Amino acid sequence: MEKARGGKMIVVSACLVGINCRYDGSSKTKPELLDLLEKKMVVPICPEQLGGLPTPRTPAKIQSGDGYDVLKSGARVIDIKGRDVTPKFIKGAIEAFNIAMLVEADKAILKDKSPSCGVNYIWDDDGLKEGKGVLTALLIDNGIKVSSGDI
């Protein structure tokens, strides 16, 4: 893949650059990121699709913890129908991480408040709380700088 001159690639949540991959089949486009896409500086990834979940899909939340707890302590990701979708979330995070490695990305811009891509916040049964999504935790653990798409 051709890289923009003078910079490393950035992985970006696909829903932030116009891909209709959100749980409800929509996107959450940030026009300022489309400019980076045009300059071939970003690679869009959707960890939940990469993990094998359909679109649209049943929304899910991390129970009793955040993305770090899913990766390290056995916390589960449960959809609102009560199904355990943890293996798909972990698989998707690993696949997205593998893409980041392939393109030698050193940064990620991810969609906040998502159980996969949340940077500052995620949802749990009591509402919004501070925490990282599963992909965010995996990227940070491997030295990739992650910022929120809420810019």
Shortest distance, position 50 Cβ to ligand SF4, whole Å: 9
Binding site for ligand SF4 (CB under 6 A): 13-15, 21-22, 46-48, 111, 114, 116-117
Residue nearer to ligand SF4 on the CB measure, 44 or 141: 44
Instruction: Say how far apart CA 25 and CA 148 lie, in whole Å.
Output: 21
Q: Cα separation of 52 and 89, whole Å?
A: 9
Min dist CB 151 to ligand SF4, Å, is 15
Q: Please, which residue, 86 or 116, has the CB nearer to ligand SF4?
A: 116
Q: Toward ligand SF4, which CB reaches closer, 47 or 131? A: 47
Minimum CB separation of residue 5 from ligand SF4 in Å reads: 27
Taking the complex as a whole, the smallest distance from the CB of residue 22 to ligand SF4 amounts, in Å, to 4
Handedness of CA 50, 53, 56, 62 (dihedral sign): negative
Q: Spell 24-48 as b/e; 16+ CB within 10 A means b.
A: eeebbebeebeebbeeebbbbbbbb
Could you tell me the two tokens for 65?
């913890």
